[in-house]
C-alpha cells in the first residue's frame, strides 16, 4: 500500500514496538488476575497511568469550559469501561481472540464513517473472520467472555471519538491526563473491592505499575513520535495488526495457541481492518456530537 511504502522504517519500528509493549503488558496483567482480579488490575493500570500523565502534562483545572469538562468526562468514562470490559474478557478468552473481537469496534466505526459500498465489502470480510474465529463452533468460546469483548469493542470505538474531541479541545496531553484521572477515580471502588489485601503487596503494586507503563505510557509516547513521521492512514493500517501481535504474545507468554480456523479468522479481521483504514485515508473525521 502506498501509505506504507512512503513511511520510514524507523516510524514503522516505533509503532511495532508500541504494539509489542501493549500486548506484553496485557500478558503480565493476565498473570496478576489470580491476585487482583481483572478489575483490580484495571484500577492499578489507570491509577499509575494517570499519575504518570499528570506528572508529565501538569494540567490546570482552572479556566476550563463546560464543553471541555464534558469531553474529558466522556473520555474518562470510555477509558474505564473499555479497559474493564477488555480485562474481564481476558479472564475468559485467549489474548489473540479478545483483541480480534475488540478491534471490530474501530473497524465498524471506520466503515460507518466511510459509508461506501467498498466499505461494506470490508464489513463482510470481517464478518467472515468472526465466524471463522469461532473455530467452527462458537460454543467453544466462553459466551460471557465474548460479550465482554464485544462491549470493549463498542467502547473502543467510543474512546476513539472521545479522544478526537479531547484532542481538539486541549493542547498536548492535558486533556488525556485529566481523562485518565477521571477513569482512575471511576475504577477505584471496583478495583479496591476486587483486589482487597493484594493492594498492600509491594510486588503486585510494582507489577501493576509495569502494566501501566507497558500498556499506556510507552505506547502513547512511541505513537506520538511515530505520528510525526507517518500519515494517519499508514498508522491506522499498522494498528490493524494488533490482533496478530496479541495472538503472538498470547502464544509466547501465556501458551495460548489458536486453531487453524481461529488463525484464519484473525487474519481476515486484520485484512478487513487494514483495508477499511486504507480506503478511508484522507477522509476528515466527523465531529463528536
> What is the tens place of the pLDDT at every residue in 256-281?
777 777 778 778 877 876 676 666 55
Rounded-to-integer distance, Cα 167 and Cα 203, Å: 35
Rounded-to-integer distance, Cα 281 and Cα 34, Å: 43
Q: What is the pLDDT of residue 192?
A: 94
Residue 192: which of 39, 26, 27 has the closest Cα?
39
Interacting residues of 150 by C-beta distance below 8 A, sequence separation 6+: 101, 104
Q: What is the percentage of the chain residues whose pLDDT exceeds 90?
A: 30
Interacting residues of 120 by C-beta distance below 8 A, sequence separation 6+: 111
Q: What is the pLDDT of residue 206?
A: 93
Amino acid at each position: 500500500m502506498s501509505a506504507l511504502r512512503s513511511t520510514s522504517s524507523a516510524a514503522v519500528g516505533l509503532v511495532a514496538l508500541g504494539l509489542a509493549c501493549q500486548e506484553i503488558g496485557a500478558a503480565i496483567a493476565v498473570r496478576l488476575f489470580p491476585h487482583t482480579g481483572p478489575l483490580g488490575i484495571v484500577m492499578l493500570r489507570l491509577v499509575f497511568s494517570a499519575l504518570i500523565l499528570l506528572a508529565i502534562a501538569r494540567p490546570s483545572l482552572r479556566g476550563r469550559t463546560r464543553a471541555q469538562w464534558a469531553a474529558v468526562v466522556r473520555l474518562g468514562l470510555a477509558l474505564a469501561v473499555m479497559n474493564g470490559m477488555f480485562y474481564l474478557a481476558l479472564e475468559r478468552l485467549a489474548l489473540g481472540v479478545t483483541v480480534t473481537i475488540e478491534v471490530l469496534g474501530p473497524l465498524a466505526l471506520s466503515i460507518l464513517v466511510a459509508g461506501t459500498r467498498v466499505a461494506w465489502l470490508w464489513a463482510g470480510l470481517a464478518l467472515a473472520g468472526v465466524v471463522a474465529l469461532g473455530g467452527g463452533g462458537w460454543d467453544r468460546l466462553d459466551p460471557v467472555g465474548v460479550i465482554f469483548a464485544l462491549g470493549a469493542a463498542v467502547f473502543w470505538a467510543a474512546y476513539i471519538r472521545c479522544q478526537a474531541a479531547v484532542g481538539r479541545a486541549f493542547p498536548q496531553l492535558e486533556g488525556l491526563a485529566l481523562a485518565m484521572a477521571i477513569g482512575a477515580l471511576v475504577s477505584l471502588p471496583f478495583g479496591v473491592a476486587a483486589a482487597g489485601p493484594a493492594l498492600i503487596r509491594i510486588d503486585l503494586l510494582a507489577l501493576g505499575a509495569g502494566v501501566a507503563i507497558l500498556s499506556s505510557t510507552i505506547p502513547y509516547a512511541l505513537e506520538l513520535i511515530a505520528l510525526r513521521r507517518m500519515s494517519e492512514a499508514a498508522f491506522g493500517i499498522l494498528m490493524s495488526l494488533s490482533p496478530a501481535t496479541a495472538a503472538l504474545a498470547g502464544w509466547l507468554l501465556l501458551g495460548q495457541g489458536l486453531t487453524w480456523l481461529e488463525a484464519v479468522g484473525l487474519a481476515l479481521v486484520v485484512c478487513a481492518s487494514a483495508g477499511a483504514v486504507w480506503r478511508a485515508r484522507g477522509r476528515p473525521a466527523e465531529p463528536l456530537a
